[in-house]
Every structure is written in structure tokens, then in C-alpha cells.
Homo-oligomer: A and B are copies of this chain.
Amino acid sequence: MDFPEYTGRELAEHIKAITGTSVNDTGALLRFFKHSRISKKQIIQQADRECTTLFFVVRGCLRMYFVDSKGVERTTQFALENWWLTDFLAFERKQRTEFAIQAVEPAEVLSIDHNAYQSLLAAFSQMERYFRIIYQYGYGAALLRMKYQQDFSREELYRHFARQFPDFVQRVPQYLLASYLDITPEYLSELRKKRS
């Protein structure tokens, strides 16, 4: 590789920001992870395969999607820098997942497999706290998103999303954003024009 060795700075900083406590030994922490660079559109988790890996986004953007009964790809979740992504249920149970995970942009990720994850949690008690907070937010945000999906018109949903994540709306390809909001790319394009 032409790249310098990954220092773990982003992960260590995120752990400190979330838990309020510095990581004592970032090197030791990092040994539980594999660091890799992935290209745009590369699939790092196949659907219908066992889900044994949890991903942390150092740089770039991932998405988790499924192919619906009509053969259309539907994006359920995005992950930008400092976000964690996997099918958390299948990962915990080491089961087959119904989702695939793909890079939306060229990305740099840390990945940890199920067994290393258990060892990490045993070795660094701080990480239980870290993931407890991460998942508590993720769970809460998912419940709130269900409310918005039921309650908001598609236009309101887009406006809300654009207000909350303005950079994200600029950054993600429009056909993927449309799939996430469950609208057609044409309708999304109309909504964007209306705003300007």
C-alpha cells in the first residue's frame, strides 16, 4: 500500500467525544480492527450471506440496502464519517442478513468481526458505554424516523431531512436519496427546484 499506516485518530476522537473519556491505548484498540480502503460502488456485505462484520466509516459514505420484491434497490440506512453500520440483529446473532452494504463514495473503513467485537468489549469496558450510547441514539432515531414516514407528506419528509442533514443532501447521489425517502428521482428533482 502507498498509504501510511492508519493511526486510529478518528475512532479515538469519536470515542472521547461520545464517552467523555480518552482511549488509553489506541494502538491496542486498533488491533481488533481491519483498516481498508474501498472503491465507489464496492459491496462489502452481500445480502443472503452470514453477517459477521461491523463497519466504522473513517472517510466516505456507505449505504445499507435491499432489493425489493419488484427487483428495485431500496436504501434503508446511510453511514457517513464516524457512523457504524451493519445489520445489527443479524450481526449479533451471526445470522444471514437480508441487507447488502455498499460504498456510495470511495471510502475508508474499519471493520471488526463478531468474535473480535466480543473480545474488544471484554478488553475495553469503555467500549460497552460507547456502543450503548451509539445504539441508544440509533434506536431512538429509527423510531422517530418511523413516525416521520407515517406522518409527513413526501415533501415534508424531504424538507425535514434537508434541514437536518444539509451536507448530506448535497453529497449523496440523488437517485439514492430518492430511494431512501421512498420517492421517485423525478419527484425529488421537482422538490429541489421548488426550494431554489
Contacts and interface: CB of A to CB of B under 8 A. Distances in A.
26 contacts: A64-B143, A66-B147, A68-B151, A76-B143, A76-B146, A77-B143, A87-B140, A87-B144, A88-B137, A88-B140, A89-B140, A89-B144, A90-B140, A92-B136, A99-B143, A99-B147, A128-B129, A131-B132, A132-B132, A132-B135, A135-B138, A135-B139, A139-B139, A139-B142, A142-B146, A146-B146
A55 to B, nearest CB: 14
A160 to B, nearest CB: 12
A196 interface: no
Closest 6 CB pairs of A and B: A89-B140, A88-B140, A142-B142, A135-B135, A132-B132, A139-B139
Contacts of A121: 129, 132
Interface residues of A, number: 39
Given A139-B88, A140-B89, A146 B145 contact: yes
A144 B92 contact: no
Contacts of A13: none
